[in-house]
Amino acid sequence: MMGTALSGKSRVVRRVVAACLWSLGGLAAAQPSPVPEAKTPRVLTEPAVRSPKALGAATLAVARAGQRLVAVGERGTVLLSDDAGATWRQAQVPVQATLTAVQFINQRTGWAGGHLGVILRSDDAGETWVKQLDGVKAAEAVAAAAKGNTDERAQRTARRFVEEGPDKPFFDIHFSDEQHGVAVGAYNLAFTTRDGGRTWTPSLHNLPNPKNLHLYGVRLVGSNVYIAGEQGLLLKSEDGGASFRTLPSPYKGSFFGLLAARSGTLFAYGLRGTVVRSVDQGASWEKLETGVPVSISAAVELDRAELVLLSQTGDLLTSRDDGLSFSKSAPVGGPLPAAGLAPADGQHLVLASLRGMRRQTNP
């Protein structure tokens, strides 16, 4: 598994859609076979194709940039909406790699991450983007960090990154402010920035993850960094990502994401409707009853302190008591292969899905 390139027919694209499908058929652009020298694929140097068809492209994540909505998805697609998700238009993107995660720290500045180790930054609310990192540069950074390091695992990892080429996707990216951010992905892929992404530093050697499990979710809460991944993996750093320790986990299946609520409660969600919560900064966790058997792909907290979870079939699970109980509402129009969720306005949510963007009334 360690030496397998992540091709368009491999597994998952982001969190849950990520854990079940690595990309869906043509969702990921063609990727080259591993080579001794990291060469740059064309999808990392050519801009995303602008086309009316992009409005129906598979989308994997969505975030708010002030009043604007920004969605990301297959082949470098970025869609913008200024009317609460009623209509969408395509943004200018410098790559054709599939994008799996997006976050805006304010109404103008945000980041997106995705396949082939891509990280992009926007300073105009998603209208245009600049590439800050890709898998080629990531491999070079891992190799440079391993120089002079006598740790055998670090040396093996560096050789593997260079030999396999820029094949590894980021699954999640999160910033606590305009300077400090962490991006995580496949096979223990983890990078940290302290300057808004001008430089990205590999932090995979800081993680207690000897199996190189996939890392699907990350959240920064003050100086704490939380990471969730395969096989119930939960990690925490209390020094901004300089070092990590393993947290006790009540579940051995995959977690696909994290949500830090304003109440201070931390939630992790994943396979088969699994949701766990911690009220003591990860020291202990309790498993919650969601009442659904399918995986949870995204979660948001609304202004009314309501927690809303999104299942991979488009069901919305709402809690008004900090996760102690949930009510379910089905997606309009039937089951939907959903991956991302964001509040559109006071009355609507928008869902990112493999069938494009969908707007739905708040449950």
- Residue written as tokens 């600049």? 130
What's the CATH code, domain 15-361? 2.130.10.10
Decide: 160 and 2 in contact? Cβ < 8 Å: yes
Report which DSSP code applies to 90: E
Give the residue ranges of DSSP H helices in the chain. Answer: 15-21, 135-146, 152-164
> What pLDDT is stored for residue 28 in this prediction?
38
Q: What is the largest CA-CA distance in the chain?
A: 58
φ/ψ (deg, to 5) at 286:
-125, 140
- Residue written as tokens 């030496």? 3
Burial 308-346 (b: 16+ CB within 10 A, else e): bbbbbbbbbbbbeebbeebeeeebeeeebbbbbbbbbbe
Q: Which residues of the chain have pLDDT under 50?
A: 1-14, 16-36
Could you report the per-residue pLDDT of 325-334, keeping only the tens digit for each? 999 999 888 8
At 200, list the tokens. 């990205």
**DSSP annotation string for 8-51:** TTSS-SSHHHHHHHSS-GGGSPP-PPP-SS----GGGTSPPPP-
CA distance 327 to 86: 26
> What pLDDT is stored for residue 38 in this prediction?
57
Write the CB contacts of 23 (distance below 8 Å, at least 6 apart in sequence).
6, 7, 8, 9, 10, 12, 13, 74, 98, 115
All structural domains of the chain with their residue ranges: 15-361
Angle at 329 between CA 328 and CA 333, to 5 degrees: 150
